[in-house]
Amino acid sequence: MILSASRRTDIPNYYSDWFLNRLKEGWLYVRNPFNPRRISKIVLSPDAVDCIVFWTKNPGPMLERLGELSDYAYYFQFTLTGFGRDMEPFVPHKKKEMIPVFQKLSDRIGSERVIWRYDPIIFTDRYSPAYHLRAFEQIASALRGRTFRCVISFVDLYRKNKREMDALHAYFLQKADLTAFAGALSSIAGSNGMKIYTCAEALDLSSVGIEHNSCIDRALIEKITGCRLRAVRDRNQREACGCMESIEIGAYNTCRNGCRYCYANESPEAARQNSRNCDAYSPLLCGAAAASDCITERKVKSLRERQTESYEQTVL
């Protein structure tokens, strides 16, 4: 199985103690967000977990504890944008703090295991296409040699973020202008040894050298693990998403980054309140199981193909 940690919250930044404690215990609980009385027990044996995919805006709290992940394959999706505190109020200063963290993480685990996400891209009066191109170039230059893949996306409107997008007077480019903008990003990335991919975007940007991305990527995981995987597309994601099936272990309304475009929180206040109920020693990320909850152990197994020939021998 693949663990997603997490699309719903920033586990490396705020809940790394909880996560590493759960790895030591060998299991955790995940509450169903659509049926809160149902809880799944997930066994975290290294024999069953093929790879852990971390999603974060700040993996700094995990940097000195990466050794505790030694029994697992993993990689990081590291979001690093050009937005300021008006958009991402609790993300540390990018140039002074986050770029150095990215560089340190890459130096420790390898540039292929740190994916740079410049997403979502939002156009406003302040954050114009020209602004994004300048910010992207500055970050790409600083990350040269520390990553080879950059993932972009353009903001989607959800019920949870529509009010904020309206307040920001966010606007959208016409297809031709958007393609030209993306082409400029692609050129900057290429000059810094990177290739750009899109995340869950239906728009075809192949004409400017940008391919569709799978954030939970079969080819990358096979390369990291050295094993072929029996994997299927995740049908629970958006139609344009090409990710492999994974088990999501996060919880909505718990991320304290406070990003104005967030779709995972009802409000910053809800996230702050819920985070107060997070116990680093609880099986659940947030809160505790009640007597009335229905707890079921989810059947999990490795997706690795069992074969006598190694993956490296097969592809060479």
Confidence of residue 311 (pLDDT cuts 50, 70, 90): very low
Give the whole-angstrom CA distance, residue 197 versus residue 215: 10
Q: How many Å apart are CA 20 and CA 16, to the nearest integer?
A: 6
- Contact at 8 Å (CB) between 115 and 78? yes
Q: What is the pLDDT of residue 184?
A: 98
Looking at residues 264-279, what average pLDDT do you find?
A: 91
CB count within 10 Å of CB 148 equals 16
DSSP tally for the chain: helices H, then strands E: 9, 11
Judged against a pLDDT cut of 80, whether residue 19 lies above it is answered with yes
Under 8 Å between Cβ of 199 and 215? yes
Listed by start position, the domains of the chain span 2-315
For residue 128, what pLDDT is reported?
Answer: 98
Q: Please, what is the angle between helix 175-191 and helix 129-143, to 10°?
A: 20
Q: How confident is the model at residue 231 (pLDDT cuts 50, 70, 90)?
A: confident
**pTM for this model (two decimals):** 0.93
Question: How do strand 38-43 and strand 27-31 relate by DSSP bridges?
Answer: antiparallel
Residue 53 confidence (pLDDT) above 60? yes
The pLDDT value given to residue 268: 87
Of 265 and 145, the structure prediction assigns the larger pLDDT to 145
Percent of the chain with pLDDT over 90: 81
- Report pLDDT digits (tens) over 81-94: 999 999 999 999 99
pLDDT mean across residues, the chain:
92
Reported as a pLDDT band with limits 50, 70 and 90, residue 307 is: low
> CB 53: neighbour CB atoms within 10 A?
24
Gyration radius from the chain CA atoms: 19
Contact 250, 285 (CB under 8 A): yes
Query: For the ranges 19-28, 96-105, 160-169, which has the lowest average pLDDT?
Result: 160-169
